[in-house]
Structure 1
Amino acid sequence: MKKYTIICASLFLAVAFTSCGSSEKAYRKMYEKAQAAENKTATEQPTEEVAVVTPVVEKPANETVVVDNTDNVPVRQGKYSVISGAGLKSFSVVVGSFSVQANAEGMQGQLNNKGYAAQVAYDSATRMYRVVATTFDTKNEAVQSRNQLRSQYPDAWLLYNQQ
């Protein structure tokens, strides 16, 4: 029985020492390789990279301001085609936006009953139907009309139609 224990112990030790030796060699090779790479980068002259960062100015495409912005009133601009109504002048007051044409025409009917010459215009860029309550040639008239309409339509905004 003692012989069997001694043989098993010696076999275990032989396996343990041979397996550690091969791992140790692999670790030694990896260590030497890392040291060589570190020495190589230490001897090289570091090159400085200068990154130029330009600030990003986000402004929605249809939320641009018209050149005549001396009164600081924001105006959206775009190309709109009139679906129903007499036609848009340069500056218009938009009181509603809908993705469904029937909803826009319903609001147009309500505005017409109140005495406005409302129109429905289509914005192909956003695929929205805009309900225009009033339209003017000058911005000042449109701003005054928008301010009056905001009592009933608080989200009314100005539109500059690019013709």
Structure 2
Amino acid sequence: MALAMTSCKTNESAYKKAYEKAKQYDTAQQQAAPVVETAPVVAPVEAKPATETQVVDNLDNVSVRQESVSLISGSGLKAFSVVVGSFGVRANAEGLMQRLKNAGYDAQVVKNDDKNMYRVVASTFSDKAAAAASRDQIRASYPDAWLLYNAR
């Protein structure tokens, strides 16, 4: 038993000596090598073309997405719509539509077949200015609301 205990101390001592020698070597290397500061490498920004959405008539600085959508439930779309939610599951979109209807909106659900997404429309308008004004008002409750131009 005593022999086993003394053999541990010998190995421990050997490890300690090796550690101290490595530490001295690192210290000597740091002192010998000059410190060179380099600027971080920054990757260039790559512009990707918009293939699925386009901005329509942006002369008045109101951003509008153009998508081809079809009516799933509601009274019918006009040219410009205020979208307050997008869902992959139809039941989720219909749930938000019902909450909007309870709040007094003429809410509808449309489907973008290209992206397979259900869009919840809070209101729809024939002209862009009225749609933008409605979107700005709706953003008090739904800050991510955006304008949709139906390409159909």
TM-score normalized by the length of structure 1: 0.63
How far 1:63 moved relative to its partner? 2.8
Counterparts of residues 69-84 of structure 1 (less than 5 Å)? 69-84=58-73
Q: Residues 76 and 115 from structure 1, CA distance in 2 versus in 1: closer, same or farther, beyond 3 angstroms?
A: same
Counterparts of residues 32-71 of structure 1 (less than 5 Å)? 57-66=47-56, 68-71=57-60
- Cα RMSD (Å): 1.5
Task: Give the Cα–Cα distance (whole angstroms) in 2 for the partners of residues 78 and 57 of structure 1.
Answer: 21
* Structure 2 counterpart of 1:89, from 59, 78, 81: 78
Which letter does structure 2 place at the counterpart of 1:126?
K
How far 1:57 moved relative to its partner? 4.2
Task: Give the Cα–Cα distance (whole angstroms) in 1 for the partners of residues 149 and 85 of structure 2.
Answer: 15
The list of structure 1 runs, each at least 4 consecutive aligned residues, that deviate by more than 6 angstroms after superposition, is none
Gapped runs of 5+ residues in structure 2? 1-45
Gapped runs of 5+ residues in structure 1? 1-55
Task: Give the Cα–Cα distance (whole angstroms) in 1 for the partners of residues 136 and 146 of structure 2.
Answer: 9
How far 1:62 moved relative to its partner? 2.9
* Structure 2 counterpart of 1:118, from 89, 104, 107: 107
* Structure 1 counterpart of 2:148, from 136, 159, 162: 159
Counterparts of residues 7-22 of structure 1 (less than 5 Å)? none
Secondary structure in 1 aligned to 2:94? helix
Residue of structure 1 in register with 2:135 after alignment? 146
Q: Deviations over 1:91-129 (max 9, x none)?
A: 000000000000000000000000000000000111100
Q: Deviations over 1:26-54 (max 9, x none)?
A: xxxxxxxxxxxxxxxxxxxxxxxxxxxxx
Contact 1:62–1:76 at 8 Å: present in 2 too? no
TM-score normalized by the length of structure 2: 0.68
How far 1:134 moved relative to its partner? 0.3
Secondary structure in 1 aligned to 2:121? strand
Report the count of equivalent residues: 108
Which letter does structure 2 place at the counterpart of 1:112?
K
